[in-house]
């Protein structure tokens, strides 16, 4: 199956089909305030409230407020997880209105820790969680569901990878094979089979490990049931492209994929 645009799966697919596939980043979580941060803030407030700088009573009030606030936030989170979410999911099941969720990854490796990288062991845990609570399907099946507005009695998940890093084949695919899960890999066609790197990797001290898959490796993915899609030709910043450049980037990448894998693999979006 050949598809158009990866992180542009929302840009490419929704722009062409008029669909919206929600893009989630399962490895990115909000930063929580450290206890030291709360103490520093409380101390600063005590100084402001107390002309003499001691302000023990004011300090106690601030500490109490911070403690109560933390407890309330924890209770709210527990209520959301144990009450609201189960009730919401039950209602969605009864109405058969569960969503289709698209989970997008980039690198699956242990050579670094950043916003684009997931450790293999963490990725495996995420897969098990998704398999437990979702029906995991390929992108083409998910799009077909949305086209006909299929009523879903269980959440549906799609797993995609942007950029075509070799770590996807080395680490992600074996973990997914073990659970019988397929995926979709969006590649930047001008870089496939070359020694080039992405500009966003240049400053990384371990950029030499961020190699990209070649055409033979992508062919292996296709033969094993995966989909391969176009993540533009040269990976420009789409927000800075004029219409002509944008169309050329999308169409050229898809043309290369058609020539490599054939349109017989399935529906091409453009």
Q: Tell me, what's the pLDDT at 82?
A: 85
For residue 67 the two structure tokens come to 């403690």
Domain end among 56, 75, 97 = 97
Q: Tell me, what's the pLDDT at 111?
A: 93
Q: Tell me, what's the pLDDT at 215?
A: 95
Residue 35 lies in a domain: no
104 plus 222 within the same structural domain: yes
Residue 29 lies in a domain: no
Q: Tell me, what's the pLDDT at 6?
A: 54
- Can you give the pTM of this predicted structure? 0.70
How does residue 1 score in pLDDT terms, banded at 50, 70 and 90? low
Structure confidence by residue, pLDDT tens digits, 53-109: 445 777 788 888 888 898 899 988 888 878 888 888 888 888 888 999 999 999 999
Residue 27 lies in a domain: no
Query: How many whole angstroms from its chain centre is CA 223?
Result: 24
183 plus 236 within the same structural domain: yes
Domain end among 55, 80, 97 = 97
48-75 burial string, b = 16+ CB within 10 Å, else e?
eeeeeeebeebbeebbeebeeeeeeeee
Cβ neighbours of 37 (radius 10 Å): 10
75 plus 104 within the same structural domain: no
Spatial CB neighbours of 198, under 8 Å, sequence gap ≥ 6: 163, 188, 191, 210, 235
Q: Tell me, what's the pLDDT at 37?
A: 45
Residue 32 lies in a domain: no
75 plus 107 within the same structural domain: no
Own/partner contacts of 69-74, CB < 8 Å, gap of 24 or more, are: 70/38
Is the predicted pLDDT of residue 253 greater than 90, yes or no? yes
155 plus 231 within the same structural domain: yes
Q: Determine the Cα angle at 196 with ends 192 and 201, to 5°.
A: 110
177 plus 60 within the same structural domain: no
Domain end among 78, 97, 116 = 97
Structure confidence by residue, pLDDT tens digits, 89-104: 888 888 888 999 999 9
Residue 34 lies in a domain: no
What sign does the CA torsion over 79, 81, 82, 86 have?
positive
Is the predicted pLDDT of residue 18 greater than 60, yes or no? no
* Element spanning 247, H or E: helix 243-261
204 plus 244 within the same structural domain: yes
**Nearest CA-CA partner of 168 in 122, 131, 210, 136:** 210
Domain interval for residue 62: 40-97
149 plus 92 within the same structural domain: no
111 plus 83 within the same structural domain: no
119 plus 143 within the same structural domain: yes
Rounded to the nearest 5°, which phi and psi values hold at 28? -105, 125
Domain total of the chain: 2
90 plus 182 within the same structural domain: no
Residue 30 lies in a domain: no
106 plus 196 within the same structural domain: yes
Q: How many residues are recorded in the chain?
A: 270
Residue 250 lies in a domain: yes
Using DSSP bridges, classify how beta strands 107-108 and 23-24 pair: parallel, antiparallel or unpaired. Answer: unpaired
* Element spanning 159, H or E: strand 156-163
Is the predicted pLDDT of residue 194 greater than 50, yes or no? yes
How does residue 35 score in pLDDT terms, banded at 50, 70 and 90? very low
More confident residue, 239 or 17: 239
Is the predicted pLDDT of residue 123 greater than 90, yes or no? yes
- Domain harbouring 137, CATH code: 3.20.20.370
CB 98 within 8 A of CB 153: yes
Mean pLDDT computed over every residue of the chain = 80
Residue 179 lies in a domain: yes
């Amino acid at each position: 199956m050949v598809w158009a645009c990866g992180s542009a799966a929302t840009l490419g697919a929704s722009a062409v089909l008029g669909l919206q596939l929600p893009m989630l980043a399962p490895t990115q979580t909000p930063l929580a305030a450290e206890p030291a941060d709360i103490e520093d803030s409380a101390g600063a407030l005590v100084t402001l409230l107390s002309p003499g700088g001691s302000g023990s009573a004011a300090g106690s009030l601030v500490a109490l407020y911070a403690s109560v606030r933390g407890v309330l936030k924890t209770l709210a989170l527990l209520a959301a997880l144990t009450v609201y979410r189960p009730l919401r999911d039950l209602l969605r099941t009864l109405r058969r209105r569960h969503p289709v969720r698209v989970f997008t990854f980039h690198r699956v490796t242990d050579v670094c820790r950043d916003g684009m990288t997931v450790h293999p062991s963490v990725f495996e845990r995420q897969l098990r969680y998704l398999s437990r609570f979702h029906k995991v399907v390929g992108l083409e099946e998910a799009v077909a569901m949305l086209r006909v507005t299929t009523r879903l009695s269980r959440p549906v998940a799609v797993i995609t990878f942007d950029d075509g890093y070799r770590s996807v084949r080395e680490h992600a695919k074996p973990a997914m094979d073990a659970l019988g899960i397929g995926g979709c890999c969006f590649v930047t066609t001008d870089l496939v089979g070359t020694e080039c790197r992405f500009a966003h990797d240049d400053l990384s001290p371990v950029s030499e490990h961020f190699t990209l898959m070649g055409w033979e490796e992508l062919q292996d993915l296709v033969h094993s049931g995966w989909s391969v899609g176009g993540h533009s030709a040269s990976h420009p910043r789409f927000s800075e492209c004029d219409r002509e450049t944008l169309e050329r980037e999308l169409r050229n990448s898809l043309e290369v994929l058609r020539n490599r894998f054939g349109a017989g693999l399935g529906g091409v979006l453009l």
